[in-house]
């Protein structure tokens, strides 16, 4: 009797361990699906249910979202930080709520500090100035001005002959 009781106890432990393990994996997967990571100045496509009527962004300074047909949503990182996007149907029922984490680029970027002033460069393969949130005002404005003048020259706008 103790042998059969022992076997039942072991079997119950194995089954409960398997169920707990599957629930844990399921919870981790669901949590991973709820967070969308995107870099500043980049876009990412995410799939949401097709019956979306309204999208609400918690902080539009951090991310922008644009609805596309078929439940596709374009998420664009605008500033560092976290916000959320809520999708609602025509009745106002929340059908999705996703966390959006906007991060800085990780690869081929070199950050130079001159005292407290920061400058960013894209290095692929040669380093060129890049504009990144958090760069010093002087560096940021100078880079924007140069890019504007270059674009002006390329388009011929404002050039008198």
DSSP run (H or E) holding 155? helix 137-155
Q: Average of pLDDT values for 47-62?
A: 93
- pLDDT score of 155: 87
Q: Which of 95-99, 138-142, 147-151 shows the lowest mean pLDDT across its residues?
A: 147-151
Distance of alpha carbon 30 from alpha carbon 22, whole angstroms: 12
pLDDT greater than 80 at residue 151: yes
Distance of alpha carbon 136 from alpha carbon 119, whole angstroms: 7
The reply to whether omega before 25 is within 30° of 0 (cis) is: no
Q: Do 52 and 92 belong to one domain?
A: yes
Q: Do 137 and 99 belong to one domain?
A: no
Q: Do 49 and 81 belong to one domain?
A: yes
Q: Do 74 and 96 belong to one domain?
A: yes
- pLDDT score of 8: 59
Q: Do 89 and 149 belong to one domain?
A: no
Q: Is residue 86 part of a domain?
A: yes
Distance of alpha carbon 107 from alpha carbon 120, whole angstroms: 12
- pLDDT score of 150: 87
Q: Do 90 and 50 belong to one domain?
A: yes
Q: Do 75 and 114 belong to one domain?
A: no
CATH of the domain at 41: 2.60.40.1080
pLDDT digits (tens, 9 = 90+) for 26-36: 333 333 358 99
Decide: helix, strand or coil at residue 108. Answer: coil
Task: Report the share of the chain in percent with pLDDT over 70.
Answer: 77
Label residue 125 by pLDDT band (50, 70, 90). Answer: confident
Q: Is residue 10 part of a domain?
A: no
The distance of Cα 160 from the centroid of its chain, to the nearest Å, equals 44
Q: Do 90 and 125 belong to one domain?
A: no
In the block, residue with structure tokens 């097709």: 50
Q: Do 96 and 64 belong to one domain?
A: yes
Please count the structural domains in the chain: 2
- pLDDT score of 37: 95
pLDDT greater than 90 at residue 9: no
- End-to-end Cα separation, the chain, in angstroms: 104
In whole angstroms, how far apart are CA 55 and each of 71, 92, 102?
Answer: 11, 10, 18
- Within 10 angstroms of residue 62's Cβ, the number of other Cβ atoms is 20
82 token code pair? 């976290």
Q: Do 93 and 123 belong to one domain?
A: no
Whether the CB-CB separation of 37 and 103 falls below 8 Å is answered with yes
Domain that residue 120 falls in: 109-155
Which of 114, 99, 108 has its CA nearest to residue 32? 99
Among the candidates 88, 103, 118, a domain finishes at: 103
- pLDDT score of 25: 40
Does residue 14 or residue 5 have the better pLDDT? Answer: 5
């Amino acid at each position: 009797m103790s042998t059969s009781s022992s076997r039942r106890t072991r079997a119950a432990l194995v089954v409960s361990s398997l169920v707990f393990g599957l629930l844990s994996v399921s919870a981790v997967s669901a949590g991973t699906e709820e967070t969308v990571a995107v870099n500043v100045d980049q876009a990412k496509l995410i799939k949401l249910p097709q019956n979306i009527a309204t999208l609400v962004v918690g902080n539009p300074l951090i991310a922008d979202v644009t609805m596309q047909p078929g439940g596709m949503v374009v998420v664009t990182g605008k500033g560092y930080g976290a916000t959320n996007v809520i999708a609602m149907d025509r009745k106002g029922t929340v059908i999705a709520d996703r966390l959006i984490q906007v991060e800085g680029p990780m690869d081929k970027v070199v950050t130079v500090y001159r005292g407290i002033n920061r400058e960013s460069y894209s290095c692929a393969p040669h380093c060129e100035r890049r504009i990144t949130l958090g760069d010093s005002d002087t560096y940021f404005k100078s880079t924007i001005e140069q890019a504007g003048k270059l674009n002006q020259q390329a388009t011929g706008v404002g050039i008198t002959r």
